[in-house]
Chain A
């Protein structure tokens, strides 16, 4: 039963190359950090309503690798991977991020948590190398979002074969 309504995700595009996602949680930040970084827990949220996470690998150390795979409701796989660049436990993670459908366009994401009076504000800033990559990333989110029957989806599915 989803009874929490502590915040709403907000996405903005601060510059031509960035995507900023913010959300507030009614919980202390060490718990948000745990849900964000623990593979069994990542599996429970990362796919949203759009499929199932089939694999979440997290080697949480500088230079360590991460990789998430989800099988979307449309039946195809969507995978992201990257490497941790900076880790401040419960506070900040900087990592590279590669959409495996577009492996030549790595981004750098900075995840930060700030806690005030038991509530935590999460920000995720994704910085791409150029605007085209940034826009493709946003499109990939839509495509992974998969309104069935969308032609784009079919294209993506084929490109992943």
Chain B
């Protein structure tokens, strides 16, 4: 199976670890390409290649400042990825919320005489 082009969308662009690293660095603020080269410890052409891919899918924006090329993160294309994972997270939230309900019953049962005790509101449990 051929992989989709890295420039097809943000998902593919992010499949490469170095590109994720670049985004992590840019998450702290705008950086000139020279700083990225130093921080990544890669050769300039490689860094430029990754930045080109990121720019094509809109994950980074670039502007010229004097002789510097300044790159900054544009989080907007990340939203579909976030949403994608969120839906999966929602399934686990439902599951584990239910698990938590079952757990609360077991806990009451184990504490014994549970029905006599008031239910703590899950706040900081005072042990007697």
A131 with B15: CB separation less than 8 A: yes
- B101 interface residue (CB < 8 Å to A): yes
Alpha-carbon separation in the docked complex, A28 to B110 (Å): 11
B99 with A138: CB separation less than 8 A: no
Knowing A31-B107, A138-B85 touch, does A5 contact B99 (C-beta < 8 A)?
Answer: no
The count of A-to-B residue pairs whose CB atoms sit within 8 angstroms is 104
- A88 interface residue (CB < 8 Å to B): no
Task: Give the interface SS of chain A, mostly helix, strand, loop or mixed.
Answer: mixed
In the complex, chain A residues whose CB is within 8 Å of the CB of B104 = 3-4, 27
In the complex, chain B residues whose CB is within 8 Å of the CB of A76 = none
- A161 interface residue (CB < 8 Å to B): no
- B89 interface residue (CB < 8 Å to A): yes
Alpha-carbon separation in the docked complex, A143 to B107 (Å): 33
CB within 8 Å of B: which of A63-113?
Answer: none
The digit string for B85-128, where 1 denotes a CB below 8 A from any CB of A, is 10111111111111111111011001000000001011001000
The digit string for A32-49, where 1 denotes a CB below 8 A from any CB of B, is 101110000100111111
- A149 interface residue (CB < 8 Å to B): no
Knowing A6-B122, A9-B96 touch, does A145 contact B91 (C-beta < 8 A)?
Answer: yes
CB within 8 Å of B: which of A119-161?
Answer: 122, 131-132, 138, 141-142, 144-145
**Across the two chains, which residue of chain A brings its CB closest to B104?**
A4
Cross-chain contact of B88 among A8, A50, A141 (Cβ < 8 A): A141
In the complex, chain B residues whose CB is within 8 Å of the CB of A11 = 85, 88-89, 92
18 contacts between A and B (CB under 8 A): A3-B104, A4-B122, A6-B122, A9-B89, A9-B92, A9-B95, A16-B15, A25-B103, A27-B107, A31-B103, A31-B110, A32-B99, A50-B91, A118-B125, A131-B15, A138-B85, A142-B87, A145-B87
